[in-house]
Structure 1
């Protein structure tokens, strides 16, 4: 399979991580905020998703960008929106047993950054790697899909709900994915 003939535009492997590797994405309420924001980026910002996985404390994407937005623009807007929405939700979740501890960590992380008003949710910077080669694309896709298996969350990658592995196994996942 020649990836370049199947995909329009440039392709990127993107990783973003929660501050201090805090495991916030263990509850569906937080996971769905990320999913809704990714769906918005797909619908309105020209992002095409080829593979993705949301782990307990980080997100991997293999994406293409079409239209006027750059990958940096999309990731910046995604992180800004989800950061605010996740912090707001965390503040309201009175049943969250680790709420005060997490908010303290997020506040501490943002305290010395003039760009941050109150809290830093995502670690500063995002790992964005442009994908040029088919082999590299396939390597990153396998890495993404095997993350939950390696973490011993599931035995088979297609069993993990918050991933595109199901799409590649012939099923329908939670986000629209361009299967290549």
Structure 2
């Protein structure tokens, strides 16, 4: 990972994107989104992750967050959620794409540089330091409008797995700290 995309400021607020291997649409099922939400809540409580905004799309998620140990927190988050989502896919009797998804995740692991048993997430998470209010507003708007742009909902706050509801004045799925 180049120096450009490392969280070098332990007090900084970052916009990050975490993507599924091959951009596979895994998060079309509620139970997989719940794994992400539960894991983010755990990281908030136990790993000093501060969430300012978040959005789960079908094949990636965006976070605006901070942590004194962001790289370690995201590493642990990705490792845990990969294992839990892979297990959830295997155990889901309603998962019509089970064979294909398991093959995809196992194949990605085999061809990875570490030759892992399976690989759910693409490498890296592309942290972008939010250095001024203009960039904060730009990334917050992009993150919340992502489901609208994709044609899934008419208004950002209608997307269940996003902090847009919080920013619209309602209570969302996860606790967030509002950006000033």
- TM normalised by structure 2 equals 0.91
Structure 2 stretches lacking a partner, 5+ long: 1-9
Other-structure match for 2:42: 40
Other-structure match for 2:114: 115
Matched residues in 2 for 1:116 and 1:34: separation? 25
- In the alignment of these two chains, the number of paired residues is 170
Tell me how far 1:113 sits from its aligned partner. 2.8
3-state DSSP of counterpart to 1:127: coil
Deviation by residue 1:46-93 (Cα, 9 ceiling, x = unmatched): 111111100010000000224xxx111111000000000010111111
Q: Runs (4+) of structure 1 moved beyond 2 Å?
A: 112-117
Other-structure match for 1:21: 23
Matched residues in 2 for 1:32 and 1:86: separation? 10
Structure 2 residue 175 is the aligned partner of structure 1 residue 176: yes
Matched residues in 1 for 2:21 and 2:141: separation? 25
Structure 2 residue 60 is the aligned partner of structure 1 residue 58: yes
Tell me how far 1:115 sits from its aligned partner. 2.9
Tell me how far 1:41 sits from its aligned partner. 0.5
3-state DSSP of counterpart to 2:50: strand
Deviation by residue 1:109-146 (Cα, 9 ceiling, x = unmatched): 11033535311100112111111111101100000000
Matched residues in 2 for 1:123 and 1:18: separation? 6
Structure 1 stretches lacking a partner, 5+ long: 1-7
